[in-house]
């Protein structure tokens, strides 16, 4: 006979092979998407921690001879100081409209509201040893990381000696 085309068996085998390839491709896509979500959350968390640390350190370096004041408890310290130009600065972690672990900043806190600039800051600790300040900031991801069942976190530490404090 001179039949052209595929038999039913050949078609079923081709569909089976195509199904296996499609399943493998879907699993690969899901895995890559999960890794993308994890990496983007970790990068955002590290950016938040780094922004909070860099800004706090930069501002604290300009504190004047009036001693900075540290209040609060572990992981919830508030840092107040006056800079060389007479402006009062306040840094603290608080719960606000931006979330329960917002890190914010006041310039002249008696006259304005706090400006949030880093989210998901789990811990803000400040300690003093003589004229040097130790700042510890711990940030966490805003969601549980896929496949881990827990949030990611990073801790940054910095020692600062204000220029104008003897």
pLDDT tens, the chain, 166 aa long: 667 778 899 999 999 999 999 999 999 999 999 899 889 999 999 998 999 999 999 888 888 766 788 888 888 888 888 877 788 888 888 876 666 788 888 887 676 677 888 888 999 999 988 888 999 999 999 888 888 889 999 999 999 988 877 6
Is the pTM higher than 0.75? The answer reads yes
Q: How many Cβ atoms are within 10 Å of 141's Cβ, its own excluded?
A: 23
Query: Do residues 117 and 104 touch, judged by C-beta distance below 8 A?
Result: yes
Q: How many Cβ atoms are within 10 Å of 7's Cβ, its own excluded?
A: 9
Identify the helix (H) or strand (E) that includes residue 26: helix 8-60
CB burial of residue 85 (10 Å; 0-12, 13-18, 19+): exposed
């Amino acid at each position: 006979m001179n039949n052209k085309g595929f038999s039913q068996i050949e078609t079923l085998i081709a569909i089976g092979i195509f199904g296996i390839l499609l399943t493998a491709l879907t699993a690969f896509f899901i895995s890559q998407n999960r890794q993308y979500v994890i990496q983007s959350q970790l990068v955002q968390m590290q950016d938040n921690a780094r922004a909070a640390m860099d800004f706090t350190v930069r501002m604290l370096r300009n504190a004047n001879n009036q001693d900075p004041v540290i209040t609060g408890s572990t992981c919830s310290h508030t840092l107040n100081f006056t800079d060389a130009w007479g402006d009062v600065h306040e840094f603290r972690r608080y719960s606000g409209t931006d979330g329960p672990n917002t890190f914010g900043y006041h310039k002249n806190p008696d006259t304005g509201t706090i400006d949030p600039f880093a989210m998901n800051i789990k811990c803000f600790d400040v300690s003093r040893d003589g004229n040097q300040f130790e700042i510890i900031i711990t940030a966490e991801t805003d969601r549980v990381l896929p496949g881990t069942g827990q949030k990611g976190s990073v801790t940054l530490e910095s020692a600062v000696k204000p220029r104008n404090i003897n």
